[in-house]
Amino acid sequence: MPSVTLTVNGKKATAEVENRTLLVQLLRENLGLTGTHVGCDTSQCGACVVHVNGVSVKSCTLLAVQAEGADVLTIEGLAKGNDLHPMQAAFRENHGLQCGFCTPGMVMSAVDLANKNKNPSEHEIREWLEGNICRCTGYHNIVKAIKAGAEAMAGGR
Amino acid sequence: MPDSGIGAAVRRKEDFRFLTGKGNYVDDIDRPNQSYAYILRSPHAHAALGKIDTGKAKAAPGVLAVFTGEDIKVGSLPCGWVVKFKDGSPQHEPPHPVLAQGKVRHVGDPVAVVIADSKAQAKDAAELIEVEYKPLPAAIDMNAATKQGAALVHDAVPNNVCYDWAIGDQAQIDAIIAKAAHVTKIDIVNNRLIANAMEPRAAIAEYDRGTGEHTLWTTSQNPHAIRLLMGAFVLQMPEHKLRVISPDVGGGFGSKIFLYAEECILVWASSQVNRPIKWTAERGESFMSDAQGRDHVTHAELALDKDGKFLAFKVSTLANLGAYLSTFAPAVPTYLYATLLAGTYTTPAIYAEVKAVFTNTVPVDAYRGAGRPEACYVIERIVSKAAQELKIDPAELRRRNFIAKDAYPYQTPVALAYDSGDYFTTLDMALKSADYAGFAKRREEAAKRGKLRGIGICSYIEACGVAPSAVAGALGARAGLYEMAEVRVHPTGSITMFTGTHSHGQGHETTFAQVISDRLGVPIEQIDVVHGDTAKSAFGMGTYGSRSLPVGGSALVKALDKIVDKGKKIAAHLMEASEADIEFKNGAFTVAGTDKSTPFGAVAFTAYVPHNFPHETLEPGLDETAYYDPKNFTFPSGTHIAEVEIDRDTGDVALVNLTAADDFGTIVNPMIVEGQVHGGLAQGVGQALLENAVYDARSGQLVTGSLMDYCMPRADNFPSFSVGTHATKCMHNPLGVKGCGEAGAIGAPAAVMNAVIDALGAVGIHDLTMPATSEKVWRAINGRQAA
């Protein structure tokens, strides 16, 4: 079995994986980082979004071996201890989550948007979320949360 | 009083773990020495099963066992509700085996299970199983399935009719319709939907040979009901040896209420292989194994007098049940549907008949709203059609027929008695918020841009807080529908509350804690709410039908009352006063008319360190349990208004405005209530514009079998919503709450479709079925039939 070495949430990790192992399986099953979720088999739902080398990626769409040497950030690495990242705090403040299953992917995707666009409009946020499905919130409060989170990120912590 | 009581928009206690990746969903759990199951499913809609050769699969690497229907000789999956034919005979209730016996009846019907050391090994081995299928003609289209000569899903069910049920006096209604000044008729299809909670179903079963105990972790909305149904009917296993845990569950919307084959297979098989077994559905499996929703075909007639007053309403519905009876399926198109057909109106005479049909498709059961969205859609579409035919403003026609504000309690002709409501105020709120008065101008402006603009109103009612057990029992329920709450006050005054309801997104951990904080004056940080474990909560009926707060919250209030009563006795003893003089307010017991006071925490401590305690009359401890059986349903209501703009060149329907004004009674957490409304609205809009479960009419293949084919609503399908509330209190539960979980999904479809039809009226189109996809709308505008 091939071996993969990568950095996850700032820590080096090495794992033996099958050729067919997906990055999300490596994260969940080998590293126990179960915050990243799997909601579909077709790369539609976005529950598995993580950052690979600073960019949001659906971790069900990448083979683990493709992440060799990569710097991966998951939802577990976003907060500093008990201090939520401004995007996480904005989701909580704006009730941008209900069942919580799509939430890690939503937050990771939103952080990438805010990194790229400091002041996204409602329209830009809704377009950006094309690859993230939420069944609970009707997106209303997610959009509000991302707007507030992006503002907070732009303004510094 | 802490600012975390009833009415405060408290931020949710559960959010920290969900936001930091610390949620605990079933697939996140691993048990020591765990194995994995893969379920082999039928590729055919209907086939006789010949030989199943599992030899190669059993010999494959890592495989522990392969079981088929021949091996698993357990009970049938039970149905929790009996509906009767018009002549009083009971519904047909064919067996529902956990693994196919002799026949497969829908694509996805489980045929065999492979258990292996890894998920991949189990899946690989399943490909080595050789199954002899002899394909049979399938009953797919519901109408055709009831005709002579149609293929039979179950040999013992003639014409595939599970029941042919009715409510009301047909002859009386026919006579009124025959003489009425105006009769509006409508044909309606309520499209089949797939719940698609973002978390696929999953389960882990573990057997402890030392104690004989089974533990099942499962993605369920009601773990106690799963334990009861599985233990008593399928596996003949007593409750004390079966523990069911539903930890964090990633959305349900009804689809996770039911007892499923996979849960039973895993519990049974884990004792056979003597290892924990985990199964997680792939999304494709969810599509062909989670119970689906809606799927009605209806003809309705509404008789009106010359002034537009409703005289009689007659409804005839075919309801698709799929291949087997799912847990609550029979109740959905009858007692949760036809009993709602009075809506918000004074219609004095109503007749409804419902024929429920088996087809070779995935079973159909409750999906958000369950029967009530279907009823609302029939009523609110026909009322708007009548308004259009009679050239009466649709808001005015509704107002003319609303039940008066002072008419409560109001007995409808279809069994339900509404306890409170005010449909006029929510209609006016919605009209104002949607700027109904300014619509004509917006339509003109849109027309200048070549767009068709339409507005649609829906004034819904629903029956929630299911349900008084005696009523449910009389109507065929095989269960009670009360709820349990235990309030355990700890020696230092912090509190753990146990409920039999289940939160899978609704925020009970916060809402229930607010009720406790409000009543006991304890800060919300010192309160935890526990749900989802049969070993922790004594009993419960779970969460569905917006019952958690109306029924579970009422049980909680009863338990809190007991805590306060006992606390008063303890406080009276401590302050050497008469119990009758003790008042409890703002977290302290006081002696009326004096400055003597004992804080709640001191009473709790005394209850557990009872050195100075009335032992002769009182037991130590401060831990109370209460059960609450509701006295009636609750009746949330309101008006939803949608505004759409249609592109004539592409048929694209843009939802430009969606307004909701709802009456949910008392509101505990307005932030959570708004969130529930938003989510419901989105699912309702999804039904109206995007979602449709499609089966190939001949092969019975589920054409929309993935998220690439089944159109789930995305963020850019919606505008921001405008929501508001106006409360009339529920008169029969202690909090005055009505429930808010389903309203959006009930009201939005008719509001949106009335808007679409209103827009299309400009080009002479007065009817369209859901979902109003751009293709369908374009074809309608251009006079082209679908291929």
Contacts with B250 from chain A: Cβ below 8 Å: 37, 39, 99-102
Here the tokens at position A22 are 């997906």
DSSP A76: G
Q: Do A40 and B283 touch (CB under 8 A)?
A: yes
pLDDT at position A156 is 66
Q: What radius of gyration do chain B's Cα atoms show? A: 27
Model pLDDT for residues B479-508, shown as the tens digit of each residue:
899 999 999 999 999 999 999 999 999 999
Residues paired with B183 in a beta bridge: B303
Say which of B16, B249, B718 has its CB closest to residue A99. Answer: B249
As a whole-number percent, the residues of chain B with pLDDT over 90 amount to: 97
Say which of B19, B253, B712 has its CB closest to residue A92. Answer: B19
pLDDT at position B112 is 98
Contacts with B674 from chain A: Cβ below 8 Å: 95, 141
Q: How far apart are CA A97 and CA A137, in angstroms?
A: 7
DSSP B25: B
Q: How far apart are CA B281 and CA B284, in angstroms?
A: 8
Contacts with B14 from chain A: Cβ below 8 Å: 100
Say which of B19, B504, B678 has its CB closest to residue A138. Answer: B678
Kindly tell me the burial class for residue B544, based on how many C-beta atoms sit within 10 Å of its own C-beta (0-12, 13-18, 19 or more). buried
Q: Do A39 and B284 touch (CB under 8 A)?
A: no
Q: Do A100 and B248 touch (CB under 8 A)?
A: yes
Q: How far apart are CA A36 and CA A75, in angstroms?
A: 7
Q: How far apart are CA B486 and CA B626, in angstroms?
A: 6
Model pLDDT for residues B270-299, shown as the tens digit of each residue:
999 999 999 999 999 999 999 999 999 999
pLDDT at position B655 is 98
Which of B252, B245, B234 minimizes the C-alpha distance to B290?
A: B252
Amino acid at the residue B38: Y
Q: Do A133 and B11 touch (CB under 8 A)?
A: no
Residue of chain B whose alpha carbon sits nearest to that of A131: B714
Which of B11, B15, B640, B752 should we substitute to test contact with A (largest number of A Cβ atoms within 10 Å)?
Answer: B15
Q: How far apart are CA B301 and CA B186, in angstroms?
A: 7
- Mean pLDDT, residues B395-401: 98
Residue of chain A whose alpha carbon sits nearest to that of B722: A140
Taking residue B366's Cβ as centre, other Cβ atoms within 10 Å add up to: 27
- Rounded to a whole number, what is the distance in Å from the CA of B20 to chain A's nearest CA? 5
Q: Do B25 and A37 touch (CB under 8 A)?
A: yes
Model pLDDT for residues B45-89, shown as the tens digit of each residue:
999 999 999 999 999 999 999 999 999 999 999 999 999 999 999
Task: Map residue B573 onto helix, strand or coil.
Answer: helix
Say which of A84, A88, A133 has its CB closest to residue B198. Answer: A133
Listed range (A137-146, B638-647, B660-669, B776-785) with the worst mean pLDDT: B776-785
Instruction: Strand B637-647: give its sheet, edge to edge.
Output: B451-461, B637-647, B653-663, B722-725
Q: Do B25 and A41 touch (CB under 8 A)?
A: no
Say which of A18, A88, A100 has its CB closest to residue B23. Answer: A100
Amino acid at the residue B695: Y
Contacts with A98 from chain B: Cβ below 8 Å: 251, 505-507, 675, 679
Helix residue ranges per DSSP H, A10-120: 23-25, 86-93, 103-116
pLDDT at position B466 is 86
Q: What radius of gyration do chain A's Cα atoms show? A: 15
Here the tokens at position B144 are 């055709």
Q: Which domains are assigned to chain A?
A: 3-77 (3.10.20.30), 86-153 (1.10.150.120)
Contacts with B678 from chain A: Cβ below 8 Å: 137-141
Contacts with B543 from chain A: Cβ below 8 Å: none
Residue of chain A whose alpha carbon sits nearest to that of B284: A41
Here the tokens at position B36 are 């994995």
Q: How far is CA B178 from CA B79, B171, B283, in A?
A: 40, 11, 51
Residue of chain B whose alpha carbon sits nearest to that of A37: B199
Burial code of B126-140, b = ≥16 C-beta within 10 A, e = fewer? bebbebebeebebbb
- Mean pLDDT, residues A41-45: 94
The model's pTM is 0.97
Q: Do B15 and A141 touch (CB under 8 A)?
A: no
pLDDT-based confidence at residue B333 (cuts at 50, 70, 90): very high
Say which of A78, A98, A126 has its CB closest to residue B679. Answer: A98
Which of B457, B430, B482 minimizes the C-alpha distance to B663?
A: B430
Residue of chain A whose alpha carbon sits nearest to that of B504: A99
pLDDT at position B1 is 45
Here the tokens at position B530 are 């526990």
pLDDT-based confidence at residue B785 (cuts at 50, 70, 90): low
Q: Which domains are assigned to chain B?
A: 15-21+482-628 (3.30.365.10), 31-136+198-251+256-289 (3.90.1170.50), 364-464+634-781 (3.30.365.10)
Size of interface A-B (CB pairs under 8 A): 179
Taking residue A36's Cβ as centre, other Cβ atoms within 10 Å add up to: 24
Residue of chain B whose alpha carbon sits nearest to that of A123: B716
Listed range (B423-427, B463-467, B708-712) with the worst mean pLDDT: B463-467
Task: Map residue B30 onto helix, strand or coil.
Answer: coil
- Rounded to a whole number, what is the distance in Å from the CA of A108 to chain B's nearest CA? 10
Model pLDDT for residues B446-475, shown as the tens digit of each residue:
999 999 999 999 999 999 998 899 999 989
Model pLDDT for residues B654-691, shown as the tens digit of each residue:
999 999 999 999 999 999 999 999 999 999 999 999 99
Is pLDDT of A1 > 90?
no
- Rounded to a whole number, what is the distance in Å from the CA of B675 to chain A's nearest CA? 6
Which of A22, A24, A40, A84 should we substitute to test contact with B (largest number of B Cβ atoms within 10 Å)?
Answer: A40
Is pLDDT of B786 > 70?
no
Cis peptide before B94 (omega within 30 of 0): no
The answer to whether the CB of B606 falls within 8 A of the CB of B624 is no
pLDDT-based confidence at residue B184 (cuts at 50, 70, 90): very high
The mean pLDDT value of chain B amounts to: 97
- Rounded to a whole number, what is the distance in Å from the CA of B477 to chain A's nearest CA? 29
Amino acid at the residue B225: A
Q: How far apart are CA A151 and CA B306, in angstroms?
A: 58
pLDDT-based confidence at residue B607 (cuts at 50, 70, 90): very high
Residues paired with B605 in a beta bridge: none
pLDDT-based confidence at residue B621 (cuts at 50, 70, 90): very high
Global ipTM: 0.98
Residue of chain A whose alpha carbon sits nearest to that of B118: A29
A25 touches chain B (CB under 8 A): no
Model pLDDT for residues B741-762, shown as the tens digit of each residue:
999 999 999 999 999 999 999 9
- Rounded to a whole number, what is the distance in Å from the CA of A37 to chain B's nearest CA? 8
Which of B11, B26, B194, B198 should we substitute to test contact with A (largest number of A Cβ atoms within 10 Å)?
Answer: B198
- Mean pLDDT, residues B345-363: 98
Residue of chain A whose alpha carbon sits nearest to that of B12: A92
Q: Do B19 and A34 touch (CB under 8 A)?
A: no
The mean pLDDT value of chain A amounts to: 97
Q: Are strands B310-322 and B349-358 parallel, antiparallel or unpaired?
A: parallel
Contacts with B17 from chain A: Cβ below 8 Å: 100
Query: B-contacting residues of A 51-110, CB under 8 Å?
Result: 74-76, 78-79, 84, 88, 91-93, 95, 97-104, 107
Contacts with B23 from chain A: Cβ below 8 Å: 34-35, 100-101
Q: Do B22 and A20 touch (CB under 8 A)?
A: no
Helix residue ranges per DSSP H, B582-723: 600-608, 670-685
Is pLDDT of B615 > 80?
yes
Residue of chain B whose alpha carbon sits nearest to that of A74: B21
- Rounded to a whole number, what is the distance in Å from the CA of A41 to chain B's nearest CA? 6
Q: Do B744 and A92 touch (CB under 8 A)?
A: no
Is pLDDT of B787 > 80?
no
